[in-house]
Structure 1
Amino acid sequence: MTQDLSDPLDGGLGDLEESGPIDFLIIELPTDRATGDAAFPHLLDLVDRGIVRVLDLVVVRRQPDDTVTAVGLEELDDGSTGLEVFAGARSGLLDDEDLAEAAQTVEPGRTAVILVYENTWAAPFALALRRNGAQLVANGRIPVQALLASLDASDA
């Protein structure tokens, strides 16, 4: 694996001027089978190919009484997913308040994986824009479910 997370502030963030866009995902997993083993190898592949760089990977559980508890990465990984490489992946971008807020997006009794990552594939493009005085003024995502619903509505 090419990513050194031993010092996430140096190895994770590096020179922000040369960084690509930084995004986050909150993934809800059922607590009774919160392994994510089918999906996480794809994340490892993206990192290995230099497409993304993981800055933070944190797991929390929203208890049925709405309290939030930290979950060790080892609780998601039986060793088959390779997620142990992200143990300690904390850039300092997320604080306890961010994690509590993220946990509120999942249903009580569920597990949340909070992933902050740099889109390293876009770094050269973003750097060229900044050097030429341009700036990103808006961005967004269209969820696949919304796209499918729109296509279904146009077919009707």
Structure 2
Amino acid sequence: MTTFEYGPIEFYAVSFDGDRPGPAILQAIDDLVAAGTVNVLDLVYARRSPEGELEVLELSDTTDDGGVPALDLAGLAGIDDIEELAENVAPGTSAAILVVELLWAKAFASALYDAGGAVIARESIPAPIVNAFLTANVDDEEDAS
């Protein structure tokens, strides 16, 4: 069986108020890493000034004590990626731009490759949208009954 060094990766922009994500956001990411669900390959912060200017901060620029976690592929998120992902960051807010390897999908990717298959398209729908849609449709079905 083929063994890929890395599984599929995804880019995320996680918004938050202020310059740095709160402890709960960081804990949620740490929990996923500890569970072996994802591997954080790159992480930068993007903040938009009240005037609308975008500033990008490398993770190493955000800590005074040098306690920066090792990232497998720091620099993977290029400025074009960051600017595109930060497009919806509102003035006065910030976002963490994460590049994560989907560890759960690594074996799936290998199996598809070995079977002669390849993922040629993929679309992601954020969980809040999925849940809002399902809640609205369940309510509609219950009203129709």
Give the TM-score category using the shorter length: 0.7 to 0.9
Cα RMSD, aligned residues only:
2.8
Which residue does 1:8 correspond to in 2? none
Which residue does 1:66 correspond to in 2? 52
- Structure 1 residues 94-103 or 37-46, which shifts more? 94-103
84, 107, 124: which one aligns with 2:68: 84
Please tell me whether residue 57 in structure 1 is matched to residue 43 in structure 2: yes
Provide structure 1 residue ranges, at least 5 long, that are not aligned to the other structure.
1-15
For 1:2-46, what per-residue CA distance to the aligned partner results, in whole angstroms no more than 9, with x for missing partners? Answer: xxxxxxxxxxxxxx94422111110111116x4321121121122
Which residue does 2:11 correspond to in 1? 24
Superposed, which structure 2 residues align to 1:93-112 within 5 Å?
93-112=76-95
When normalised by structure 1's length, the TM-score is 0.71
Q: Find the aligned partners of 2:7 and 2:58 in 1 and give their Cα distance.
A: 28
CA contact (8 A) 2:43 2:74 kept: no
Aligned to 2:90, the other structure's residue is in SS state coil
For 1:52-101, what per-residue CA distance to the aligned partner results, in whole angstroms no more than 9, with x for missing partners? Answer: 1111100011112221112354787799xxx8325x66543222222222
Q: Find the aligned partners of 2:6 and 2:31 in 1 and give their Cα distance.
A: 20
Judging changes above 3 Å, is the alpha-carbon distance between structure 1 residues 153 and 51 closer, same or farther for their aligned structure 2 residues?
closer
Q: Which has the larger radius of gyration?
A: 2
Which residue does 2:31 correspond to in 1? 45
